[in-house]
Structure 1
Amino acid sequence: MQVDSGVSLKPYNTFGLPAVARTLVRVRSDDDVRRVVADPVLGPAAKFVLGGGSNIILTRDMPQVVLKVEVPGMAVVEERADAWIVEAGGGVGWDDLVAFTLEAGCPGLENMASIPGTVGASPVQNIGAYGIELKDRFESLDAVDLATGETRTWDAARCRFGYRDSAFKRGASFEPVDDTPPAAAPAPGSASTPPGSQVITRVRFRLPRPWQPVLGYLELQRKMLETGVTNPTPRQIHDWIVAIRRTKLPDPAAIGNAGSFFKNPVVTPEQCRDIIGRDPEIVHYPLPDGSVKLAAGWMIDVCGWKGKSVGGAGVYEKQALVLVNRGAAIGSEVMTLARAIQESVYGRFGIRLEPEPVIV
C-alpha cells in the first residue's frame, strides 16, 4: 500500500480535467484495502474508488481518500465444456484483457475492444459495445467492503446489471437476492451505503464455447460486405471494431474525453412513434423486450451541437455523443455544456438525456 498527499488527478482521468486528491492510496491487493479500512486515520475517512478514470468528470478537488485500484494479474482459471473462465485483477486495463483472451484462444470479448478503463470499473458501468454487454460475459467478482474489510464474491444477481448501470452505481451493499428475505428499507432520512463502498479487486468472465460471432450491428455488416469475409474470426472482428472506433471516437491520449457522454435513451414504442411523427429520420433500434433505443448522438447532432464549445469543453466534430477537452477545460465547463445539450434535446424531443460518466 502506497499513500501519497496532494496528488494531481489530471493524469488519472481521460478527460484531462484538473483536480487534486488530498490523499491517494494505491491498492494492489485485498490486503491493501483491509489496511486502509483498519488504519486509524484512513479508515474513518470518506473514500472514492478510482480505476482508469475513463468514466468520471472531475468538477472539484477531492477531499476524500482516493483509492486507486492497481490489482494486477490475468489467467484462464477454468476450462469447462461450455465455457472458458478468465479472471483478471481490477487494475488491469480493459483492452489488455481483451488482447489476453484472444492470445489465449478464449474469444468472446472482441466486440468490446478499445473500450478505455480498467477491469475493476467494467462491472460498475456494465460496459458494452456492438451487441455485447459485460453482463453477457460475466461470471462473478470479488469486492472488499470498505466498512468491514470483508471480501465477498458477487454473482450477476447481486450485481443487478442494467443498461450502463449496476448495483455499484446505486450504493452497493451485499443485498439479499432470490430466496433470501429482502432487507428492510432504510428509515426516512437515514444514510444508505454510498456509491464506491466496495473495491472490486478481481472479475471473472464466462466466455461461451463454442464461440459464436456477434455481427448484428450495421457497421459490422458493412465490414463483411467490404472485405468479402462472411465468416470472420474473433481476431478479424476485433480488428474491424478497433478500426470503426478509431473513425468515430477520439484517442484520449490525443484529445481528452470520457467516451460516450450520454446514454442512448430507451423509450416505449408509443413514445418512439410520437417522435417519428415529428422527426421521421430519427435513428432508433427496437429491443427484444419491445422497448426502443434512440440514438442520443443523432439527436444532439440535429440540435446543432456538433463542433460547438463552452470554454475549453466541446462537442467532438466526428461524433456528437462525445464531449472533448479542447486543451484547457475545467469540470464546470464540461457540465455547463452538458446541461445546455440536455435542455436543447429535451426542448425538441421531450427526452431528458442522462450522462454516462460519474460526475464528481
Structure 2
Amino acid sequence: MTRFADITTMGVGGHIAHFVEPTTRVGLIEAVEDADSKGLPLVVIGGGSNMLVSDDPFNGVVVRDARCLITVPDEAAPVEGGDRTVHVNAEAGANWDDFVAFTVELGLEGVEGLSGIPGTVGASVVQNIGAYGQEVATSVESVEVWDRETKTTRDLTPADLQFGYRYSALKASMYAGPGKPADRFFPTPRYVVLSVAFALTHSAEGTVGYGQLAKALGVEVGDRMATADIRKAVLAVRAAKGMLEDPTRYALADMATAKREANILSDLDRLAALNNQAGIPAGSDGLPAPDYNRHSCGSFFMNPILSAQQA
C-alpha cells in the first residue's frame, strides 16, 4: 500500500486508502469525478513538495497524473515574418524539471531560470512558481482544466487564472481566505489541471534576471547568455543551498516513473559529485548516499509585499 511518505519530498505521511495513477486524460477526469461523487477526501498530487502530511492513515483518494507527454505543435524554429514564438504543450503529470530540460535542449527561452524546482507542470500553474527572475505566468498561454463544480472541461486564459505572486485563481479556489481551507474543495482546487500550453521564444540565449545568479555567472543583471549555461548555474546555486530534491527518491517503486530516466541519472551524477566533494561515501548499492538535507517541504514561506513608499 502506498504511503504519503513514499511520494512526498519530506518523506513523511501515512498509508493511502486509494492511490490512483491515471494514464489517460479520460482516466484522470474519471478518477476525480469518482472520488467527488462518493464524497471522498481527494488529493491530486504532483511532485509531493509543499506538503506536510500526518502519519495517520488517509481514508480518501490520492490521484497522481501519470501522463507526461510534451509536444511542440509549432515548428521549433523561427517562422517567416520574424515571429520567434514557439508553443509547447505539456500534460499536467510531466515532471517540471523534465519540461525545463526539454525546452532548453530545444533552444527555447522562457523557463530556464525555473530549473530544479520540484513538482509537475500541472502544479506549476497552481502555485505560479518563480525563481531567479522568472515566473511561470509569463510563459503560460492557456491551461486546460476539469471544473469539479460544473463537471466540464475549460480552457483558462492568463486573465482567467489571475496570476500573482505565488498565486493563481486555481490555488484560491480551495481557500476561503488566507490560510483558511474552503469547506468544499480543499485540499484540491476546484479546477484540476489537465494540460498547459506555453508560449516560449526560439532563442539559445536568455536574460540573467537575478543578482545572485548574475554573481554566480560572473555577469551583470540583464546580460544575455546561453540558456543552457543559465540552467547549469541555477542548478549549481540551488544545490549549494540544499534546494534540489534528493534524486535517490526515484529509486522508490512509487516514484520510479515520475521523472525521465536520463534526467534522474544526471541528477544522481550531480549528487554524487557533491557528496564526493564533501567526503560522503556512496551507499552499498552504489547509488549516492541520500541527501536528507533535501527532504524539503518546498516553498513554505512568501516574501512580504511592500509598496514603493514602504520599501
Change (3 A) 1:14 1:114: same
> Is residue 2:47 matched to residue 1:52?
yes
Aligned to 1:349: none
Change (3 A) 1:61 1:263: farther
Change (3 A) 1:225 1:27: same
Alignment of 1:151-170 (within 5 A): 151-170=153-172
Cα distance in 2, alignment partners of residues 82 and 226 from structure 1: 25
Change (3 A) 1:110 1:166: same
Amino acid at match of 2:296: N
Q: Which has the higher strand share?
A: 1
Aligned to 2:250: none
* 8 Å contact kept, 2:2–2:15: yes
Aligned to 1:66: 62
Structure 1 spans left out of the alignment, 5+ residues: 1-5, 174-189, 273-360
- Percent identity over the alignment is 31
> Is residue 2:299 matched to residue 1:260?
yes
Deviation at 1:236, TM superposition (A): 0.8
Deviation at 1:30, TM superposition (A): 2.2
* 8 Å contact kept, 1:33–1:144: no
Aligned to 2:233: 240
Q: Quick one: which of 25, 29, 45 aligns to 2:24?
A: 29
Cα distance in 2, alignment partners of residues 95 and 142 from structure 1: 20
Q: Which has the higher Rg, Structure 1 or Structure 2?
A: 1
Deviation at 1:251, TM superposition (A): 3.9
Partner secondary structure for residue 202 of structure 1: strand
Task: Map Cα deviations across residues 289-321 of structure 1 (whole Å, 9 max, x no partner).
Answer: xxxxxxxxxxxxxxxxxxxxxxxxxxxxxxxxx
Alignment of 1:92-107 (within 5 A): 92-107=94-109
Amino acid at match of 1:260: S
Aligned to 2:127: 125
Cα distance in 1, alignment partners of residues 125 and 35 from structure 2: 30
Aligned to 1:330: none
* 8 Å contact kept, 1:172–1:198: no
Aligned to 1:294: none
* 8 Å contact kept, 2:141–2:158: yes
Cα distance in 2, alignment partners of residues 71 and 270 from structure 1: 47
Change (3 A) 1:41 1:157: closer
* 8 Å contact kept, 2:5–2:14: yes
Moved more, 78-87 or 232-241: 78-87
* 8 Å contact kept, 2:35–2:41: no
**How many equivalent pairs are there?**
249
> Is residue 2:197 matched to residue 1:220?
no
Cα distance in 1, alignment partners of residues 184 and 200 from structure 2: 35
Cα distance in 1, alignment partners of residues 36 and 197 from structure 2: 33
Structure 2 spans left out of the alignment, 5+ residues: 176-181, 247-290
